[in-house]
Structures are given as structure tokens and as C-alpha cells.
Amino acid sequence: ETKGMLWPSKLALLSAVPRPFLWLGPEGGQVAEEARRAGHHPWAVGDAAGLAAGGETLIGGPGTPVSLDVDKLRADRRAALDRWVNLVEAAAG
């Protein structure tokens, strides 16, 4: 009953993020196909060497976590949390 629900419920938004993601799973599945189409990186289970090489390629490239502005991310996260708190308080109020 849940076949085919993993992709839309868990990974659809991730594919829209302008950052690379790594998919380690069945090569012939929908997630791997969507990852390839979106320019992300699927690897088959057991392909440790390929995964390691791909990870090394991504490290330090544009948009990878290495280049993230951590202080800005923390401020953005705090601002988002404050907005949620205000929204919940207003609804309860």
C-alpha cells in the first residue's frame, strides 16, 4: 500500500534544494533516477569506493556544506523558530 510513497513524502523537497545530495540505494529505482535527473549523486549499495570518490569530489565545491555560513544559518533558524512561536501564540491567543 505504501509502494511509491517514499519519494514524494521524503525526498521531493530535497531534490529542489540547490545543494547536492547523496543517494545510496537501488540503482534502478525511482529515487536514483530522479537524483540523476536533478544532477545529484546516486550510488548502489555496496559501492563504497564510488561513494568515497564522489564525496571527495563534492567536498569544497560550490554549494557544499564546507562553504556554508554557519552564523547566517543559525540566525535564519532562530528567526524561523521565532515566527513559528508567534504564529502558535497568536492562534492560541
pLDDT in tens, 30-74: 778 877 887 777 888 888 888 887 777 766 555 445 556 778 888
Task: Say if pTM beats, i.e. exceeds, 0.75.
Answer: no
Mean pLDDT of 75-83: 91
8 A C-beta contact, residue 57 and residue 39? no
8 A C-beta contact, residue 7 and residue 34? yes
Q: Report which residue type is found at 16.
A: A
- Cα 53 versus chain centre, distance: 19
pLDDT, position 43? 85
- C-alpha distances in Å from residue 5, one per residue of 8, 9, 16, 87: 6, 6, 17, 30
Three-state DSSP class for residue 24: strand
Q: Which of 47, 44, 42, 46 is nearest to 31 (CA)?
A: 42
The bridge status of strand 41-43 relative to strand 22-24 is: parallel
CA atoms within 13 A on the CB side of 88: 6
